[in-house]
Structure 1
C-alpha cells in the first residue's frame, strides 16, 4: 500500500513538473502570438501547440507509457475539460473582471489542474500493464538498452 502511494506521489510530482514546463511553453507561445492576433486566437493556438508537447512529456515522463496514435488522438479529449475551464476563465477574467489579458490565462489554468491530471491519467494509463513493462518506473536494465545502437547518431 505504501509503495502504491509512493508511486502515485512520484507520478503527481512528475505531472506537476510537466505542468510547469507546459505552462511556460504555452505562455511563451501566447506572448509571441499575441502581438499578431487577438488574445483569444493567440490563446487557442498556444493551447494546441503546448498540448502536443504535453502529450509527449506526460506519456514518457509522467506516466511512463509508450505513446500511441490512439492515445494521441484521445489525449485532446482529456484536455477538452482543461480547455473549457480555462477558456471560460480567460473570458470571464478579461471581459468581466477586467484582468490583464496577459495574466488571465495563467490564473484560469490553475483551476483546471486537478481535472487535467485525472483525465490524462485515465487516458494515458489505459492498458497500462503493457506500457509499464516497456517503460519501467525505475529502469533496472543497463543504460545501453536505452541508448541508440552503436554506429548510429
Structure 2
C-alpha cells in the first residue's frame, strides 16, 4: 500500500471518528438525516486540512478548499443512501448505520480527492 493510501486511510479513520461523535451529539436533538448532514459538513473541513498537510503534502488553498467538497460528494451520496436503506428499509440502528455505509464510499473518495488535491502532472516533453 502506498504512503498516500495509508495516510488517507488513517485520516479517514480519524475523520470517521470525528463525524461519528458529531453525529451522535446531533442525533440527541435532530432527526438522523439532519444529524448526518451536519456531522458530514463539520468533519469535511477537518478532513480537508489533514489530507492537504499529511496525505498529499500540498499547501491548502481557497480553490482546493472550495473544490474539496466534490471529493465528498460521492461519499455523501453513497453514505446518505446507505443510511436511509439501512435505517428505514432494513430497520438497522440509526446509531451504527453511518459506520457501515461509509465503508462502501472510501475508495471513491480517495480517487476523487487525489485528483483535486494534487496538481496534474505535466506531460513528458519530447526532446
TM-score (normalizing by structure 2): 0.93
RMSD: 1.3
1:94 corresponds to 2:91: no
Alpha-carbon spacing, 1:61–1:32, altered in 2? closer, same or farther (3 Å):
same
Question: What are structure 1's unaligned runs of at least 5 residues?
Answer: 1-7, 130-153
Q: Does 1:53 align with 2:33?
A: no
User: How far has the Cα of 1:77 moved from its partner?
Assistant: 1.1
* Correspondence for 1:69: 62
> How many angstroms apart in 2 are the aligned matches of 1:128 and 1:97?
45
Residue correspondences, number: 122
User: Is the radius of gyration larger for structure 1 or structure 2?
Assistant: 1
Q: Which runs of 4+ in 1 moved over 6 A?
A: none
Query: Match of 1:36, SS?
Result: coil
1:68-124 Cα distance to aligned partner (Å, 9 max, x none): 000000000111000000000000000011000000000000000000000001100
Where does the alignment leave 5 or more consecutive residues of structure 2 unmatched? Answer: 123-127
Q: 1:81 aligns with which of 65, 74, 83?
A: 74
